[in-house]
Structure 1
Amino acid sequence: MPKQPQAALDTVYAFSPNRDTLGATAYLIVENRANILIDCPAIDELNLEFLQQQGGVRSLFLTHRGAIGKAEKIQQETGCEIVIQEQEAYLLPELAVKNFSDEFTFSPSCQAIWTPGHSPGSSCLYYAGSGGVLFTGRHLLPNQQGEPVPLRTSKTFHWPRQIRSVQSLIDRFTPATLSYICPGANTGYLRGQRVIDRAYGRLAQLDLEGCRQSQALV
């Protein structure tokens, strides 16, 4: 049975994992009727009704190529714009998309940030509400202990670049500007929690050099 999206933070909702995107978790930021959908949830009656109840979708932001899912159907149903990093926009040749290079500003409180490595166009979305929330797609995921880490897989595009992208986020934010991470997968490892809290401190404690040298795949 499909499940209703659940509140993760005051203005952020998490959808159930979507089999079309290999079990990934999509999110909705509800912001002054300029709502942003991060990655693709399942397109069923329950989710479409929920999106309508929240005021629709202005923008669909895709964190990486694996999150495209049924983006075309979502655009048809909601009339939203689709935003994706320029190196992966070619994967949506039939759709009207907005692509960006390094950053894309949705509003004064929402900004996309290119964080390549997991895929060429892998990107995160930063939301300034709730003390600062970073939607990381598969760039940063919880490990079995619930800690946010980069995970190297057989599909990783460029591991050293992914590590550099993590460092760029650590350099960009502070404990005052980054309180939470909403990961795009592995949410079962959060053991009932819907977000990773104390996000900046946990990122700052990562042994990135050890990660970079690791040859292990997950």
Structure 2
Amino acid sequence: MSPVPQPPSPTTKSPRFVLDNIFAFPPNRDTLGGTSYFIVGNEGNILIDCPSLDEVSQDFLRSHGGVKWLFITHRGAIGKTSEIQQHFGCEVIIQEQEAYLLPGLTVTTFTQELTLDATTQLIWTPGHSPGSSCLYYNNYGGVLFSGRHLVPNLQGEPVPMRTSKTFHWRRQIKSLQKLIQIFTPETLQYICPGANTGFLRGQRIIDQAYQHLTAIDLSVF
């Protein structure tokens, strides 16, 4: 039996256009205000973290061909993963240390990295949570979907942000250093953060991403 979708409220909003084939869903209360993204791809569509499972979201996903992969960037973004997999028959992917949080589901796990298709790679960036991970999409000069590993500050700049739920702060900083080593200004143009998107003030995406990362003063951490 398919899950019963939540009826839209008067304030329900449709996903917003980010880039040609990338869309952002409104912040989801089930994931403490997390932002989910959707990539419409030639080899299959990718849903990054869980949006609210309301009629608007389901209709939008169906109208674009459904979901092939659902990638969970961290344990706080699980939301209604079970219902989404049941409804769309998608493959759920999560870093191996957090797969236990999805009992009874068929999941694909990875350790350090996993290549989904010719354009997409998953990268383990522990710190915010044990299995915190990012998705790298190599179109448009490179787009990093950072979950809560990197989120905008009040100035809209991507930073690691320490909270009461941070698993291991030093590992989070090392994960940031790893990304700086992996990428270059030519391979990382944008960041799509998984939270605090209101600080982008309508921009929907962080441009000149690599330059922002290298400008972070790691000495203050």
Q: For residues 47-66 of structure 1, what are the alpha-carbon distances to aligned partners after superposition, in whole Å with 9 as ceiling and x for unaligned?
A: 10100111110000000000
- Stretches of 4+ moved more than 3 A in 1? none
Count of residue pairs brought into register by the alignment: 211
Residues 157-201 of structure 1 show CA distances to partners (whole Å, capped at 9, x for unaligned) of 000000000000000000100000000000000001100000000
Where does the alignment leave 5 or more consecutive residues of structure 2 unmatched? 1-10
CA deviation string 1:74-101 (max 9, x = no partner)? 0011100000000000000110000000
Q: 1:21-54 CA deviation, whole Å, 9 max, x = no partner?
A: 0000000011015000000000011110100111
CA contact (8 A) 1:16 1:41 kept: yes
Aligned residue identity for 1:111: Q
Alignment of 1:4-83 (within 5 A): 4-32=14-42, 34-83=44-93
Tell me which residue corresponds to 2:7: none
Point out where structure 1 has 5 or more consecutive residues left out of the alignment: 212-218
What is the distance in 2 between the residues matched to 1:105 and 1:68?
21
Shift in Å at residue 131 of structure 1? Answer: 1.1
Give, in whole Å, the separation in 2 of the partners of 1:184 and 1:194: 11
Tell whether 2:185 aligns with 1:175.
Answer: yes
Which among 136, 146, 151 is matched to residue 126 of structure 1?
Answer: 136
Structure 2-normalised TM-score?
Answer: 0.94
After superposition, give the CA deviation of every residue in 1:127-180 in whole Å (9 maximum; x if it has no partner): 001110000000000000000000000100000000000000000000100000
Checking the alignment, whether the CA contact within 8 Å between 2:43 and 2:117 is kept in structure 1 is: no
What is the CA-CA distance between 1:209 and the residue it aligns to? 2.4
Match of 2:199 in 1: 189
Matched, 1:142 2:152: yes
> What amino acid is the match of 1:123?
S
- Paired with 1:169 and 1:35, the residues of 2 have a C-alpha distance of 25
Name the % identity.
65
- Report the RMSD for the aligned CA atoms in angstroms: 0.7
**Aligned mates of 1:18, 1:155 — CA distance in 2:** 18
TM-score using structure 1 length: 0.96
Q: Which residue number corresponds to residue 124 of structure 2?
A: 114
Contact 1:33 1:55 in 2 (8 A): no
Answer yes or no: is the 8 Å Cα contact 1:33–1:56 preserved in 2: no
Query: Residues 103-122 of structure 1: CA distance to partner in whole angstroms, max 9, x if unpaired?
Result: 11110110100000000000
Partner residue of 2:4? none
Distance in 2 between residues matched to 1:54 and 1:210, nearest whole Å: 44
Given residue 146 of structure 1, which amino acid in structure 2 is its aligned partner?
Answer: G
For the residue of structure 1 that corresponds to 2:13, the secondary structure is: coil
Letter in 2 for 1:2: T
